[in-house]
Chains A and B, each alone.
Chain A
């Protein structure tokens, strides 16, 4: 199945970025966390770091945060870290956390 045209995808990314920024600006900073993207995910999203609003629910997981980014289903190969510790997708996040989404590593 073909994805959206690059121009359309860029517009979607810009809209998502704008929405995330508006959320972060209009809500109390105590209810936000920092999201980092790396490598191909940065290119896909069009940004590398965002302040994101925590959804209004008792338990919010790293996977919930991913869905909020509107980047489609999370590939199984994308790992997650919270405050610089690798975690699984169902790990709860807290306000003020640094949550990073990490494509497969290719160093060495």
Chain B
């Protein structure tokens, strides 16, 4: 019996396609559309998410800047482990993660996540799962600045939050 190319067994054994994972941590602003254009292949399906700095902090006050720090080395390795696992679980073929660190102004791009697959379902599901893994399992920390005072963000908003 011929198995479909996205069969979980084949994917788990890595027998179908090589999975490409690109992870970049930038300390300077980047253009997500240029990055996507340079990364994209001829895959039949792709999904992407681009996150920007809000103009207000977690309490609704006007935000001056957002400062992002990370733990170099562990951060990249945890993103890679999660990307490898999720590409396998969802039967997707490639992932791109670009994350900013440093001081960001409102509306600047914080994160770009993109996933390629042979079908829209695997691409979209894997992209969402990878973003959640980055938010909760990669050592990044946000500090919000307003009126010259900084405070660490206490936690991420849940995926189901509408606010």
A residues whose Cβ falls under 8 Å from a Cβ of B = 36, 38-40, 43, 81, 84-86, 100, 102-108
CA distance A68 to B68 in the complex (A): 28
Chain B 132-163 per-residue mask, 1 if CB under 8 angstroms from chain A, else 0: 10111111111100000000111110000000
Closest beta carbon of chain B to A90's beta carbon, Å: 20
- Known contacts A39-B141, A100-B71: A108-B51 contact under CB 8 Å: yes
- Known contacts A40-B152, A84-B77: A107-B142 contact under CB 8 Å: yes
Interface residues of B in 109-129 (CB under 8 A from A): 110-111
A-B Cβ contacts below 8 A, count: 67
State the main secondary structure of chain B at its contact with A.
mixed
Closest 3 CB pairs of A and B: A107-B140, A108-B135, A39-B141
Q: Flag if A107 contacts B70 (CB, 8 Å).
A: yes
Among B73, B77, B131, B137, the residue within 8 A (CB) of A105 is B137
Among A36, A39, A86, the residue within 8 A (CB) of B143 is A39
**Residue of A84, A85, A86, A107 most packed against chain B (CB within 10 A):** A107
Closest beta carbon of chain A to B1's beta carbon, Å: 41
Among B69, B77, B134, B155, the residue within 8 A (CB) of A38 is B69
Among B51, B74, B110, B155, the residue within 8 A (CB) of A100 is B74
